[in-house]
Amino acid sequence: MMRMVLLGPPGSGKGTQAGALARRRGIPHIASGDILRANVKEGTELGRRAAPYMERGELVPDELILDMMAERLAEPDAAEGYALDGFPRTVAQAEALDGRLSERQQRLEAVVYLEVPEKELLRRLSGRRICPDCNAIYQLETMAPRQEGICDACGGGLIQRKDEQPEVVRRRLQVYARETEPLLDYYRRTGLLHEVDGTIGVDNVLAEIDGIVKGSATEAAGKRQA
């Protein structure tokens, strides 16, 4: 059982790490951005309402996100834990998640913050490609697909995200600093926050997070026995 949150600015590696960790631990990787992009692609009411915010690099309003995430977290595969990526992103979202967990006598085991300097974020995002079919993530310089433009995992065609133009990336970074950075103090106060250097290579970052997850699981088991 592991309920964890990956926090960090755009391009810090939340999706990369949450995906790897979820595969390793057999828990779902729940990414609010992926759910939103799937809704935009399918042309749902939620997608139609969210798209203008996403294209500008702004946050989608909390009420839309909270309904969407409540629905996703209620699915059976989330009963035994999850790796959350991109949610919560505001203090109001974090409070709503805490409320939901305490109603169910549940708690988060760990919040991992991936620290990456802005220059590196901009470099990574300019060469990112994603698979819209299976959500796999690539980087043309450092994690290129075996065959250009084709997803290694499912054979889908790779695309560049619509919110990857430089001015939208700049806006996303500003919005992150204003709306999401306050969550670091929020989770620091609860003792759940673990800060990880996100620049040390994908496998090294994963090893660090895995160590944190193991430590948190052992601590939680100790508390249950006490």
List, by residue number, the catalytic residues: 14, 89, 128, 161, 172
Q: CB under 6 A: which stretch of 20-28, 84-92, 102-110, 212-220 binds ligand AP5? A: 84-92
Name the residue among 226, 206, 222 with its Cα closest to residue 109.
222
Residues 120 and 32: their CA atoms lie apart, in Å, by 23
Q: Are strands 128-130 and 137-139 parallel, antiparallel or unpaired?
A: antiparallel
Q: CB under 6 A: which stretch of 13-21, 40-48, 76-84, 148-156 binds ligand AP5? A: 13-21
Tell which positions 112-171 bind ligand AP5, by CB under 6 A. 124, 128, 137-139, 142-143, 163
28 binds ligand AP5 (CB under 6 A): no
In the chain, how many H helices and how many E strands? 9, 7
65 binds ligand AP5 (CB under 6 A): yes
Residues 44 and 42: their CA atoms lie apart, in Å, by 6
Please compute Rg for the chain using Cα positions.
17
173 binds ligand AP5 (CB under 6 A): no
5 binds ligand AP5 (CB under 6 A): no
Phi (first) and psi of residue 206, to 5 degrees? -60, -40
Contact set with ligand AP5 (CB under 6 A): 8, 10-16, 32-33, 36, 53-54, 57-60, 65, 86-87, 89, 93, 124, 128, 137-139, 142-143, 163, 172, 198, 201-202, 205
